[in-house]
C-alpha cells in the first residue's frame, strides 16, 4: 500500500536535511497497492533502491504496539542491516539474502533470537542512527545457501556505539519509545489522518480512471501510535520523509506531520483532477 506522489510537509525533524519529493516524477497517479518483490542485498545502492520494497497492511499492525516494551535505557548489541529503505514497527519486509557476510549473519540469527536492526542508508545522507528491529517470521534456505525472509518491524532503536564492522555491522543500541503527548487528542488526529488518506485514494483512483468505490476502514481499531507507524510505512518513494517520521518520539507530532503531507498531496491531486476535467483529452 503506497501513497501517490507525496508532497512532504516542511516541519522540522531530527534529520539534518529536509526531504524533497518531485510531484512530476511520474505521469500516472499510483494508488495504494501491495507488492511482493524481494530485495537484493548484494547489489549497488541504486539497484537496491529499485528492488527493495516495504510491504505492509493495517492488519500487520497490532492494536497495541508493545505488549511489554523494553526499557528505553536498556543497551543491547544488535546486528545491523543498512538498506535504502525505512522499516516501521508492525510493517512486513520481504528480503532475499545472498551476499556472503549477510548469509553469515542469517546463520547466526537462525540459531539465536531472529532479530536484527534495519537502518536507512543512502549515498547522499549516509547511514542514519535510528532504525527499527526486524524479526524473522518466515524463512526459506535454498540449496545455494541463499535465504528468502519475511521480517516484521518491532522496536525502534538508536545506535549509540559501533561494536564491529566485520564480517557485518554490530552496534550497541538504545530503545526508543514515544513520549506521552499530554492533552493532545490523539484519536481525533488519527481520524483526521485516516480521512485524508481516504480522500487521496479516492482522487488517485479517479485520476487513474479506476472505479470509485467506498474506501475500507484503514485504521482497523489501531491505537494512534501504531496507526502513525502504519501511515508512515505507506509513504513509499519518500524514504527521507519516512526516516524523519521514524525518528520522531511524539505520536501527536508524527500524526500532524503525516496530516500535512497528506493534505499537500490531496491539494496537488485536486489541482491535477481539475486540469484533467478542463482538458479531458490532454
Report yes or no on 89 lying in a domain.
yes
Between these two residues, 85 and 280, which has the higher pLDDT value?
85
The whole-angstrom separation of Cα 86 and Cα 235 is 10
Does 88 lie in the same domain as 134? Answer: yes
Q: Are 208 and 29 in contact (CB under 8 A)?
A: yes
Domain span including residue 220:
186-277
Identify the band that residue 8 occupies on the pLDDT scale cut at 50, 70 and 90.
low
The whole-angstrom separation of Cα 156 and Cα 268 is 32
Radius of gyration in angstroms for the set of CA atoms belonging to the chain, rounded to a whole number:
19
The whole-angstrom separation of Cα 108 and Cα 102 is 10
Q: pLDDT of 129-147, one tens digit each?
A: 999 999 999 999 988 888 9
For residue 10, what pLDDT is reported? 53
Does 127 lie in the same domain as 190? Answer: no
For residue 69, what pLDDT is reported? 52
The whole-angstrom separation of Cα 50 and Cα 38 is 10
Q: Determine the average pLDDT of the residues in 213-234.
A: 91
DSSP strand E in the chain: where? 75-83, 92-97, 115-122, 126-141, 147-164, 170-176
| The last residue of a domain, from among 142, 175, 208 | 175
Does 190 lie in the same domain as 135? Answer: no
For residue 70, what pLDDT is reported? 60
Say whether 99 sits in a helix, a strand or coil: coil
For residue 60, what pLDDT is reported? 52
Q: How many domains does the chain have?
A: 2
Q: What is the CATH number of the domain that holds 140?
A: 2.30.130.40
Maximum CA pair distance of the chain?
A: 62
For residue 7, what pLDDT is reported? 65
| Cβ neighbours for 221, distance < 8 A, ≥ 6 positions apart | 63
Q: Which among 69, 73, 81, 127 has a CA at the least distance from the CA of 108?
A: 81
Q: pLDDT of 76-90, one tens digit each?
A: 999 999 999 999 999
Q: Are 99 and 146 in contact (CB under 8 A)?
A: no
The whole-model pTM stands at 0.76
Amino acid at each position: 500500500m503506497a501513497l501517490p506522489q507525496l508532497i512532504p510537509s516542511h516541519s522540522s525533524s531530527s534529520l539534518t536535511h529536509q526531504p524533497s519529493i518531485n510531484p512530476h516524477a511520474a505521469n500516472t497517479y499510483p494508488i495504494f497497492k501491495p507488492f511482493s518483490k524481494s530485495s537484493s542485498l548484494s547489489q549497488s545502492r541504486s539497484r537496491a533502491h529499485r528492488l527493495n520494497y516495504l510491504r505492509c497492511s493495517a492488519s500487520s499492525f497490532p492494536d497495541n504496539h508493545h505488549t511489554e516494551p523494553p526499557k528505553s535505557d536498556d543497551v543491547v548489541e544488535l546486528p545491523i542491516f543498512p538498506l535504502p529503505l525505512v522499516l516501521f514497527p508492525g510493517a512486513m519486509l520481504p528480503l532475499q539474502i545472498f551476499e556472503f557476510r549477510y548469509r553469515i549473519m542469517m546463520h547466526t540469527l537462525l540459531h539465536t533470537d531472529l532479530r536484527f536492526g534495519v537502518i536507512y542508508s543512502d549515498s547522499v545522507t549516509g547511514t542514519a542512527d535510528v532504525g527499527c528491529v526486524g524479526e524473522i517470521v518466515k524463512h526459506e534456505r535454498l540449496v545455494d545457501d541463499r535465504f528468502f525472509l519475511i521480517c516484521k518491524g518491532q522496536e525502534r532503536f538508536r545506535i549509540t556505539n559501533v561494536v564491529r564492522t566485520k564480517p557485518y555491522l554490530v552496534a550497541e543500541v538504545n530503545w526508543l519509545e514515544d513520549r506521552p503527548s499530554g492533552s493532545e487528542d490523539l484519536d481525533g488526529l488519527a481520524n483526521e489522518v485516516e480521512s485524508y488518506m481516504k480522500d487521496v485514494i479516492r482522487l488517485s483512483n479517479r485520476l487513474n480512471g479506476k472505479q470509485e468505490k467506498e474506501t475500507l476502514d484503514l485504521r482497523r481499531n489501531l491505537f494512534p501510535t501504531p496507526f502513525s507507524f502504519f501511515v508512515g510505512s505507506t509513504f513509499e518513494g519518500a524514504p527521507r520523509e519516512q526516516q524523519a517520521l521514524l525518528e520522531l518520539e511524539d505520536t501527536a507530532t508524527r500524526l500532524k506531520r503525516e496530516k500535512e503531507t497528506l493534505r499537500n498531496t490531496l491539494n496537488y491531486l485536486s489541482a491535477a483532477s481539475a486540469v484533467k476535467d478542463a482538458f479531458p483529452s490532454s
